[in-house]
Each structure stands twice: as C-alpha cells, then as structure tokens.
Structure 1
Amino acid sequence: MRNGSEWVYGPGDLAEGGWESVVDARIPGWQHTGLRVAELDGSADSGATVALAAGDVERMIVPLAGSFTVEYDEQGAATASQVLVGRASVFDGPTDVLYLGAGTSATIGGHGRVAVTEAVTAERRPAAYLPASAVPVELRGGGQSSRQVHNFGVPGALDAVKLIACEVITPAGNWSSYPPHKHDEHRPGVESRLEEIYYFETAVTRGAEAPAEAAPFAVFATYSSDERPIAIDARVGSGDIALVPHGYHGPAVAAPGYDLYYLNVMAGPDAERSWLITDDPAHGWVRRTWDADGMDARLPYASTGSAASTGAPASTDTTASTEGAPL
C-alpha cells in the first residue's frame, strides 16, 4: 500500500504472475470489480503474453500504450483474434478496446502497457470491438475543472452486464473527479451502489521542457459519507491504484506542470447497470460556475502524431458537457 492508506497501492504491490498489478476479490472488502495491468515486451524472440482464464467475470481490454493482439475463446465458439491498434500513450486521445463477456478465456500479446478492466457476473454477453473512432469523447466541466472523458465502457456505449469503464485526462493544474461525489447507496433513480477503481498515470504537460529529474504527480482524496470510515489523502503517480469501496471521492488534482490520466472501473450489486451519483452538498454548487468559466483551450488531447504512426486518431469529435457524473 501507499500513502499510509489501505486503499492505495503502488506498481508491484499487487503483482501476480506476469501482471504488474491485479485487483480482485482477494483484497479484503473488495467484491465487484477488478483490474489487471501488464507491461509486455512483444519482440519476436520473447513470446511475452499474459493469459485471462474463463470464469464468471466480464472484461474490457484497454491498451494504455502500444499495440496488442488478443486471441480469445468464447464458450462454444471457435478461437477468434482481434488486433488492438492502441496508441502512443494515454495522453494521445482514445484507443480502440475489446469487450469479452463472462466465460471467455484470452491471451494478450504485444508491446507496451495494457489494462484489463473486470466486473463479476455469471451472465454472458458476446465479445465486441470498439474502434477508437467510435469512442464517445466528452469535454466536461469548465475553467480549472475542465477535463476530457473517453466513455468507451459506460451505459449507452457498451452492452455489458455490470461493467462500467471510462478514462479521464486532466491537464496540468486542473481538478477532476470534482465536486466530490459518492455512489454507495441504492436509491432508485437517484444513486446507485458502485465500487470504483482509479488507475493513474502522470506525465510532464504537453509542450513543457522539464529537467530529467522531473517527477510527475497528482493528488487524490476520499472521505466518509456515513458511519463507514475511509480516508485517502494521497500523492499518486504512474502505476498507482486507488480503491473506493464507499464514501465521497475527489478531487483528483493534476499538479502544475504535470498532466493526469486515470482509468475508472465500476460495478456493484444493484440489478440495474446504472451510474448515478450524489454530490457532497457542501460542494455541488460549483457545477453552476462551469458555463461562465468556459472550456480549457488545451482540450481536447488527441494524437500528437499521425493516426498511422501512433494508432490513435489524429483528431477527435468531441461533445462539450457540464452534466452527468463528475469525473
């Protein structure tokens, strides 16, 4: 664990087999979601791969940096293969992704960093590929609360049973996952119960000339919403993971000079797959200021190179929004 919190882990703290990090139900108090992160060397003579066993878990494979090939076996079907073109880095716009339903085994090979988001379910869904050009990209907030959201695994974009996944880019100096909010009560039409995983990466902000000793970082907070204790006040960097079983969470703040990325994974026990949140009433009013502040001119972040060379789209259609969940 990191930062003195039982809910924050660094790279290697949760290592297993060929995986740098594995979050699953073996962590005390964790039940519904999972995450796997691996660094693969796909050189011809290395044969580096990671395997995913079939079971009661649905997954989405998300290239963080690099390109990958996924060989997978759906129950009762022939082996299939899908190339994930990927991208140069998490700050180069959205990536293509692959959804695998429960009961599917897979092997991932390639070169770079890859994440596998997971949710526990016995219900089956067919595999589905989403190209980068089809990923819904949203610009959310305003002013110093401006951020970019890639909604590849949310209701309406992905036909899943339990899994909800998306990723957020927060430019240097900006706040995201704000106002602080919660989703730990079942209140139909108002709030849903969802565990949440944050996987972080940080980098020197675009265009900056930083010295070799620069150490990109961000800060992340979580605090209690009821009698269940939780407290995270963490300095986080690339490869760190924060778990939010309950409570108000946010903000996630990109330090000046450093951009912040995080991948969110959510699932819960409610029958309906929905993402409904409640703001901390002390801070929810901040939403009303966003329209006047305007969107940060640095957004959107898309590929810094050509689509052919990086695997990421050279430009991205975006929708500006100040509504919905506050990632």
Structure 2
Amino acid sequence: MSETNGATGTGVGAPAAQDTGLYVPHGSTGTGPCTVDIGPERAGWTYSRLKVLELGPGEVHSVVAGECEWIVLPLSGGCTVHTEGRTIELLGRQSVFAGVSDFAYVPRDAHAQIASGAGGRFALAGAKCERRLPARYGPAPEVPVEQRGSGMCTRQVRNFAAVGVFDCDTLIAVEVVTPGGNWSSYPPHKHDETRPGEESELEEIYYFELEGPNGFGYQRVFPSRPGGSDVLAEVHGGDAVLVPNGWHGPSIAAPGHDMYYLNVMAGPGAERAWQICFHPDHLANTPGYR
C-alpha cells in the first residue's frame, strides 16, 4: 500500500465545499413503489444500482433486469421471487436489526416478479454486468457474520454477497450494523483507482436505516484528488450517500440509535475484487480496526 497514494489532507471534519449531490434523502429519487431508485442517471456513473421497494399486503412488482444482475434482499417482511421458471421463497426478517436475511439472485436479461403476502420492504441491489449467471437462492445460515474493529469502532459485518462468498459477475454487497455511539467505515478508505494487488475501482452506495424513533447518524466522504467528492451528511432512515470516488468514513451512529447500512459496489475491473486503500494518516491510530 502506498502511504502517499491519493492523500490530499489529514482531516475528516466539515467539508470546505459540500457536494450535496452525493447525499440522497429518503424519497427524493422514488418512483412508484420504490422509495429509493438510484441508477446511472441519478448517480452519474456506470455500474452500481439500488432500489428500495415497498409492497403492501398482496402486492406484486415486476422487474426487468436488463443489462444488470440483481439481488433481492428483504429489509422487513418476506416475499416470493418468480424468475427463470423458479419460485424462490424468502422468509426475510422483521427488520434489518433482527439479524441476517435470506435473498435471491436475479440474472441479467431476466424478468422477475416480487410478491409479498403480508407486505414489506425489499432492497434490490444491482450492477451492470456481462456474464449471465443462474438464478439462485441465498440461505440466511450461510451468510458469514463477523465482528470487526474494537472499542468504539466495533461493528457487525454481514458478508452476504462479498467476494468469495456468493458468486456474482460484478456486484458486491454487504450489510453493516454499527452500535449507537460507535464509528464504522473507519479508518477512512478508498477504492477509486485500479492498482493491481492493492486497490480496485468501485462505485459505492451507502443506504441507511436507524433503530428507534428520531435516530440519526453522519457519513463523511472527502477528496482523494483535487476536485474529488466532498460531503458531510446527517443521515436518517431511508437516506443514501453516493461514493463515486474519494476517502469515505467515518460512518457515525448517534448514541442510543444503532445504525444499519447496506453497501452496494461494482466497477469496471476485469476481476471482481474488493481491494481498498486505508488513509495513512488515520490507520496507525485505529488499533483493531479489522
């Protein structure tokens, strides 16, 4: 890891010029039953996508995958995914704070229907891809869960679609739960250039939910290059933050309110890889961050 690569400053405090386009408030991109709908037109990039679908009891939603692969991940409630001649039953969960969920993979160029008898909310994490993989079920017991960090940097990471865990062409997706008062996504890190063996270029979406009424948190993104991404956002349930480039972190949960975020990533690399570069000015002062 190069200690000087891309570093333009040591601070993680308030940005000099906040890029409000990176902060996506709840409902600001909604279309139809989707409260979040982030694609290339909204984000100004090529690969990563995210929709959050809300279905009432008995409602059905149709999905045209197009040039993207998709994972249907229950946030609350369960559903049935019909695709490629298969019926995939997802038990789901009561909420994102209740534990891991099962999920379904929908390949590119497929059509799918998502139906929910009792209703619920469902994340559709997507990425532009080339390979057409088979539709599959992801069982909840097979999701690796790790406790990362120590002290006030402790958080839980659910690697349901991480590299080496679940096969996708370009899509990488994980969930993180940060206890109230803790920091995660720390030390700040980046993945905005291709350096074989050290860093992979990935577009990233953070989608947030907060536990309890009036919960909130903060997300920081700051430049790794002149004119790069710069935002300090107060985030609430249903908000998202886009990371097209730059150092990102910390993600801070307010005391008394556990914070959940879903990370959706994809990029142009020939190999699906999640290689990150930590900010050298903060790495040494963050023991046990792994």
Query: With structure 1 as the length reference, what TM-score do the two structures score?
Result: 0.80
Alignment partner of 1:83 is 2:89: yes
Alignment partner of 1:283 is 2:289: no
**Cα offset for 1:122?**
2.6
State how far apart, in whole Å, the 1-side matches of 2:202 and 2:224 are.
Answer: 14
Give CA-to-partner distance per residue, 1:102-121, whole Å, 9 cap, x none: 11111111111100000001
State how far apart, in whole Å, the 1-side matches of 2:52 and 2:210 are.
Answer: 16
Alignment partner of 1:5 is 2:16: no
1:57 maps to what in 2?
68
1:16 maps to what in 2?
31
Contact 1:19/1:50 (8 A) holds in 2 = no
Contact 1:140/1:149 (8 A) holds in 2 = yes
Contact 2:65/2:107 (8 A) holds in 1 = no
State how far apart, in whole Å, the 1-side matches of 2:54 and 2:142 are.
Answer: 26
State how far apart, in whole Å, the 2-side matches of 1:194 and 1:136 are.
Answer: 22
1:203 to 199, 202, 211: 211
Counterpart secondary structure, 2:284: helix
Give CA-to-partner distance per residue, 1:271-298, whole Å, 9 cap, x none: 11000001111101134x22xxxxxxxx
> Match of 2:57, as an amino acid?
G
**Cα offset for 1:4?**
6.6
State how far apart, in whole Å, the 2-side matches of 1:89 and 1:232 are.
Answer: 28
**Cα offset for 1:20?**
1.1
1:68 maps to what in 2?
79
1:107 maps to what in 2?
113
Q: Give the length in aligned residue pairs.
A: 271
State how far apart, in whole Å, the 2-side matches of 1:180 and 1:152 are.
Answer: 23
Give CA-to-partner distance per residue, 1:193-232, whole Å, 9 cap, x none: 000000000013xxxxxxxxx4110111000001232211
1:140 maps to what in 2?
148
2:231 maps to what in 1?
232
State how far apart, in whole Å, the 1-side matches of 2:274 and 2:37 are.
Answer: 24
Give CA-to-partner distance per residue, 1:118-167, whole Å, 9 cap, x none: 00013211112111111110110001000001101011111111000000
Q: 1:93 to 1:181 in 2, by over 3 A?
A: same
State how far apart, in whole Å, the 1-side matches of 2:43 and 2:121 are.
Answer: 27
Deviates more, 1:22-31 or 1:179-188: 22-31
Contact 1:97/1:132 (8 A) holds in 2 = yes
**Cα offset for 1:54?**
3.3
Contact 2:74/2:102 (8 A) holds in 1 = yes
Counterpart secondary structure, 2:170: coil
State how far apart, in whole Å, the 1-side matches of 2:62 and 2:231 are.
Answer: 32
**Cα offset for 1:25?**
1.2
2:157 maps to what in 1?
149
**Mapping 1:238-317, distance limit 5 Å:** 238-287=237-286, 289-290=287-288
1:166 maps to what in 2?
174
State how far apart, in whole Å, the 2-side matches of 1:131 and 1:239 are.
Answer: 25
Contact 1:58/1:119 (8 A) holds in 2 = yes
State how far apart, in whole Å, the 2-side matches of 1:84 and 1:30 are.
Answer: 31
State how far apart, in whole Å, the 1-side matches of 2:283 and 2:195 are.
Answer: 18
CA RMSD between the two structures: 1.3
Return structure 1 stretches of 4+ with deviation > 6 angstroms.
Answer: none
Counterpart secondary structure, 1:17: coil
**Cα offset for 1:28?**
5.1
Q: 1:259 to 1:51 in 2, by over 3 A?
A: same
Alignment partner of 1:97 is 2:103: yes
Contact 1:97/1:131 (8 A) holds in 2 = yes
State how far apart, in whole Å, the 2-side matches of 1:266 and 1:54 are.
Answer: 17
State how far apart, in whole Å, the 1-side matches of 2:227 and 2:162 are.
Answer: 27
> Match of 1:227, as an amino acid?
P
Alignment partner of 1:120 is 2:128: yes
**Cα offset for 1:29?**
1.9
Contact 2:147/2:154 (8 A) holds in 1 = yes
1:219 maps to what in 2?
218
Give CA-to-partner distance per residue, 1:288-318, whole Å, 9 cap, x none: x22xxxxxxxxxxxxxxxxxxxxxxxxxxxx
